[in-house]
Structure 1
């Protein structure tokens, strides 16, 4: 399929968050040039629903019992399959040429001057070859305590383990690329393809992973996975039980060499050292320690990404504030 010279793009997200966070997410991407936002509220949220419903570029659905009955399937207990079902539902309906599937704490970031960012996304998508079905965007991870600063992961390769140990000497070896969150990134998917299942990190077609994808360094995702210690603690138990730290996920390096997955690592730290141990872990991985921040800076792994969320929220949703 060919891409128009000025392709339209949109987002889909399944969201359970406070009204301010949801409007920050929506306003930021509207400001960036999104033509459509398909937002699926995982629980009723009367504080935000009217603001979203009133915006002409937003399609908002509350995922209540009526919604799931329309799917003719019970509501999945885990949020991951709910995300996949909602993203696939939006993929089949969104009126854009491309659609990205991201979370409420993720923000698209083109590496260009602020006034060129909207154009950069359109130009990037327009330049993709016709045989490319997806564009993978790798994450940058927010650094708590460093406003607007994000870190890059240690890239894969023969030196990854050595570099991770050098930057994060106590805990980093257990984390892929030194990241607390995912390293897989998220996708922009070309719309109009048949028999698509739009998962969290990958696009499936005819029941198999669609590998017709590319990756560009110029378009990343700012992932505010743990914006502060309090923010991290607020979601820690859920993530440990059912989210990105849940049991059964892969380790940062092979278990046969002593690797632990995040669930095993964090459980061990908490059992052996309590909340103080978790605080020490968080401080190192988030570069609160000056020596860790300097190690990242000297390697060119610190990125300044001012999202200006409050200003954009006030611009696009003035009635909320």
Structure 2
């Protein structure tokens, strides 16, 4: 299962779809929606998020297990540094390993100060590099303290994330190099909204891989795509989400659509822009992670 995913990442077309577990003790309704739309037949794998924005959600590792069991497709389970120290991180990885949840997206995590849980405190023993280092240790048969594990874990596949835009591109390159140095095999970007941005990121990735080649490490870049179908979404991303660049022409097109045709025209224009971008990116660099905030009909419309 995972060998096929990694082979696609390195040598072929690679499409994964993000799922966000809900504020609920049941993830099965989400799995059922994916099944009903046949999305499992349109992607190479899935991901599960881990309490994004520090809001309480269903566990990402359990959700990954459910998706894998239903569709026999690999799932990248997110693990946030915000909520676990190195003991909990390793314990979760040990349990997940036996049930074959072995692709892990290492994330530092949003601050606990924005949580919906009163007085929640972040752990943050380190940034996501610590989790990548733990995975490297596990793949060598040891825990992070260097003590051999009773049984060597099945191989783990570490992924990381990074911004898609910065005023100084050199900062993006340095962040890529750091993640590659700590063992990430795939780096998923924040949403990309134009082809030139994607080309720049791929150039930076090549430089980062070359800088790390002395350590015989490299990573593939996976372009994040988040369809925009509402003007207010475009405005919010542009104004309030660091590391993303929404082009002015997208915002203007959505503004005109909203003024002339209301919500329906706004959706139509936004979807057309998003679909065109997805198709362009897939043709240029067919390594894409699709994010739709569980709006799975939009995901299907983009993918077909």
Q: TM-score, normalised by structure 1?
A: 0.31
Say which structure is richer in helix.
2
Q: TM-score, normalised by structure 2?
A: 0.32
